[in-house]
Amino acid sequence: MQPIHQSFQITYQYGVYFTQDLFGSSNPELKNYLADAGSEGFQRKALVVIDQGVADHHKGLVEKIKRYFNENIPHILLAAPLLVPGGEASKNNPVHFERLVEAVDTEGIDRHSFVIAIGGGAVLDMVGYAAAVSHRGIKLIRIPTTVLAQNDSGVGVKNSINFKGKKNFLGTFAPPIAVFNDSAFLATLEDRDWRGGIAEAIKVALIKDPAFFEWIEANVTALVDRQQAVMSYLIHRCAQMHTDHIAGGDPFEFGSSRPLDFGHWAAHKLEYLTDFRVRHGEAVAIGIALDCVYANRIGLLAAADLQRILDVLLGLGFELYHEKLSENDKINLKNGIQEFREHLGGRLTIMLLTKIGDSLEVHELNEKEIGISVDVLEEMHRKDPNLNQVLV
């Protein structure tokens, strides 16, 4: 008998909306969206999952959400909101994933209903994974509450939890149906989390848009001073570039080329080596610095460009070295290269800069030069790094 060959395409569409005080009684954004979302003739429900840290910093948020649904969206039944730990704790311990799946079951959240995730990137990852695998896919609405999630992870198509000491080992590619970026959530962020999200904007600017990098360079002081209008532009521009990349490239990462993972091989490993005391954005800043020093050392990146990149990172307040990079003669860090190779499907593909706004894919890293690059960052850190005379 002849084999049967078939192919088909699925079109995904979702919007990223920018607002202030999403659950304010007079804000129509979510109400209007949910009025048009879903199928007619079905009783729809919503399960809201909230990052515990967000709830702690925004007193009365749970009651505010209940009131909003009662007054504005009474046709959608609101299940009891569920609180989960924030940060990587939500991804490291499977009990939180299992608890969410149990809530989907007991609350009767079906494929015509909604899971609404409110929190930082790690919580959005975990909730998105649970929504994607429950009933083979429940409609997911993301409400990111950090700079990092609003400009990067929260607007993408990935969902995951950590497993066996490996970051994002279990996961899916499942786009949300909508993302609502509420700037009101940013006001209560610690400086570390405000700053951390800027690392992802620097990442995407360095590989895709030198003019955007120049804008960040010119606005370092305003970003440090937490000027909301400046941050709002950064988030919008970064989110636009992120979603454009998804639409125009390889959104489900069937290949090994992942430009948006620039700076991430070392970042992922450093997070684990520090038991996540170094947060993701901070680790990405270090990963960018390490890969740029390495690119300079092997002749790809000019010293002047490297100096500008490091000046911006340091000007924003990032530390660019952590002792765990050097631990065990740097073997622990270098193990991250092999782990990243496995994560990519067997072929290592690392994006390195050739100049600001331009990059090159390489498939091997020189471990000796990686070690020397770590030493460069350590020496800068030891001297107090103000970077005026760091590199040749």
Cβ–Cβ under 8 Å, residues 43 and 75 = no
Give the mean pLDDT per block of 10 residues along the chain (392 residues): 90 93 95 80 87 95 96 90 94 95 95 96 96 96 96 91 88 95 96 95 95 98 97 96 82 65 91 92 97 97 97 97 94 88 78 95 93 95 60 38
76: which DSSP letter?
S
178-229 confidence digits (pLDDT tens):
999 999 999 999 999 999 999 999 999 999 999 999 999 999 999 999 999 9
The pLDDT value recorded for residue 250 is: 66
In whole angstroms, give the CA distance from residue 160 to residue 130.
Answer: 9
In whole angstroms, give the CA distance from residue 117 to residue 154.
Answer: 10
The pLDDT value recorded for residue 257 is: 56
Superfamily in which the 192-225+250-383 domain is placed by CATH: Dehydroquinate synthase-like - alpha domain (1.20.1090.10)
State the number of CA atoms in the 13 A half-sphere of 303 facing the CB: 7
**pTM of the predicted model, to two decimals?**
0.89
The pLDDT value recorded for residue 85 is: 96
Return the SS3 of 350: strand
- Domain ranges in the chain are 15-188, 192-225+250-383
CATH hierarchy code of domain 15-188 = 3.40.50.1970
1 to 4, 7, 66, 234: CA distances (angstroms): 9, 19, 59, 58
Largest CA distance in the chain: 73
In whole angstroms, give the CA distance from residue 134 to residue 85.
Answer: 20
* Residue bearing tokens 């990079």: 325
* Among 355, 270, 262, 350, residue whose Cα is nearest residue 307: 355
The pLDDT value recorded for residue 392 is: 36
Average pLDDT of the chain to the nearest whole number? 91
In whole angstroms, give the CA distance from residue 295 to residue 287.
Answer: 12
Cβ–Cβ under 8 Å, residues 337 and 266 = no
The pLDDT value recorded for residue 128 is: 97
